[in-house]
Amino acid sequence: MNPVAFSLFGINVHWYGIMYVLALLIALWAAKYFVKKDKLAISNSLLDNYFFWVEIGVILGARIGYIIIYDPNTIYYLTHPWQIFNPFVNGEFVGIRGMSYHGAVLGFIIATLLFCYKFKQNILLYLDLVAISVPLGYIFGRVGNFLNQELIGRATDVSWGIVSAGMLRHPSQLYEAVLEGLVIFIILYFYRYYKKFNGELIALYAILYPIMRFICEFYREPDFGIGFVAFGLSMGQILSIIMFGFGLWLYIWLKCTKTKKLA
């Protein structure tokens, strides 16, 4: 497919941008649905405000994270920070390219901390809500990567492979949409009925996501300019190991804290 969905007043609108907007709307809709269905103590106005804060944090974290971790022109951007969100190249509108999921997570955490501190909210309650709402939106994000012909898969000869960059490749973006989005959503959707303490869902998300991402990275082309980092693992897999360790620590810490309170 053509990465450009349509042109408006001479500006190309990419499928990825459309999918990104849909991802945000779906995540917000899911959050409002679960607030109402599970009778969470979060008002509609607070939820709208929270998502605004989070979106700013995610965009900043994702873009800056990509520049620091993946972009070969890191020094240029750090010395010319006004270019970080410049959507024009040589006068041509190309949009903002290059976002890091792990950078987005860090930006999201910082935004959530600041929001809950300012408005005196239970941070774990919000994080659990995000854990079950984001995976649905994530599906659209990865479909956007697929339509935009980016984050391409490794070369293959399987019958369902797609032609990208001149060769048959795994549709790794769709693998990620299913495993990192749909599968995680289904697991957390049903597990929430057995939730024992606030923060359990976000801790489980921080454990499940890196597992799914680690698997999908075996079918995804290593990042350009970085390749395999160590022991035949990609940067995404290295970061996933770190995230898994953090998620496991968070789950154990929250569970032990809950146990001590009951003792």
Q: What is the SS3 assignment for 204-225?
A: HHHHHHHHHHHHHHHHECCCCC
Residue pair 34/44 in contact (Cβ under 8 Å)? The answer is: no
Q: How would residue 78 be classed by pLDDT, with cut points 50, 70 and 90?
A: confident
Q: What is the mean pLDDT of residues 255-259?
A: 81
Per-residue model confidence (pLDDT) at position 62: 85
Residue pair 250/206 in contact (Cβ under 8 Å)? The answer is: yes
User: What is the pairing mode between strands 11-14 and 4-8?
Assistant: antiparallel
Per-residue model confidence (pLDDT) at position 186: 97
User: What is the CB-side half-sphere exposure of residue 82 using CA atoms within 13 A?
Assistant: 0
Whether the pLDDT of residue 94 is over 60: the answer is no
CA distance 180 to 212: 6
Q: Which residue has the tokens 């082309």?
A: 221
Residue pair 15/122 in contact (Cβ under 8 Å)? The answer is: no
Residues forming a β-bridge with 88: 93
Q: Which residue has the tokens 């991402």?
A: 213
Residues forming a β-bridge with 4: 14
Residue set of the binding site: 142
| pLDDT one-digit tens code per residue, 54-68 | 989 988 888 888 888
Residues forming a β-bridge with 8: 11
Q: How many other β-carbons are positioned within 10 Å of the β-carbon of residue 241? A: 13
Per-residue model confidence (pLDDT) at position 263: 45
Per-residue model confidence (pLDDT) at position 90: 66
Mean pLDDT of the chain: 87
Whether the pLDDT of residue 38 is over 80: the answer is yes
CA distance 173 to 229: 21
| pLDDT one-digit tens code per residue, 204-252 | 999 999 999 999 999 998 877 677 778 889 988 998 999 999 999 999 9
Whether the pLDDT of residue 262 is over 60: the answer is no
